Amino acid sequence: MFEDAYPVQWTDGQTVVTLPEHIDAANTSQIREELLILINRGAVVLIVDMTATASCDYAGAEALVRAYRRAVANGTQLRLVVPAEIVRRVLGGSGIDRLVSVYPSREAAIAAGLPVAQASAPGSPQVSQDLLSGIVCNLFHAGLSLQAALDAAHDTDRQYIMQALRHLDQTIRDIRDHIYITHS
């Protein structure tokens, strides 16, 4: 079981899971599945502590993106603790840092507290938050498509695609900030 392989701490709605020193093809599928299990178990806030993580490949970043999607669907707030700059760069390349709050320490992620409990009736703040989170996910995927197009673009088109990516990144940050500032 996951809790035997990677320590999990359940405290007042905040669940902290500590990931290993290396995240790669050898353990990515297990990490992804177990993050999904923790979300499905009802974590209100899932803090993924990567303090000890010295290396993470793109498959590991994709596992976090999939966990983010499930978290949005389940109403779980996902937070990452990533002090290592090299790991931050890999996560930045996947775009997950645009979707999820990244903290320099476990203490900072825990100190952010729990989101305010909200009703889930149509028109409620929770429904609005879920809608905004879904929009951010869609924008994120549009950004990935633009980045793929950038690789195949001619020099004259590259500057327009780069400008569109910068606007898209800022829009995602603005929406994410709105979600977590307004609704927490």
| The predicted structure's pLDDT at residue 123 | 47
* Domain boundary, last residue among 54, 85, 115: 115
Over the chain, what is the mean pLDDT? 82
Residue 143's domain comprises 116-184
Amino acid at 97: D
The string of pLDDT tens digits covering residues 122-147 is 444 555 556 666 676 667 667 777 77
The string of pLDDT tens digits covering residues 70-90 is 998 888 999 999 999 999 999
What token pair was written down for 2? 């996951």
CATH number of the domain encompassing residue 48 = 3.30.750.24
* Domain boundary, last residue among 79, 98, 115: 115
> Would you say residue 96 has pLDDT above 90?
no
Q: Give 53: exposed, middle or buried? Use CB within 10 Å, 0-12, 13-18, 19+.
A: buried
Radius of gyration of the chain (CA): 17
| The predicted structure's pLDDT at residue 79 | 95
The string of pLDDT tens digits covering residues 33-50 is 999 999 988 889 999 999
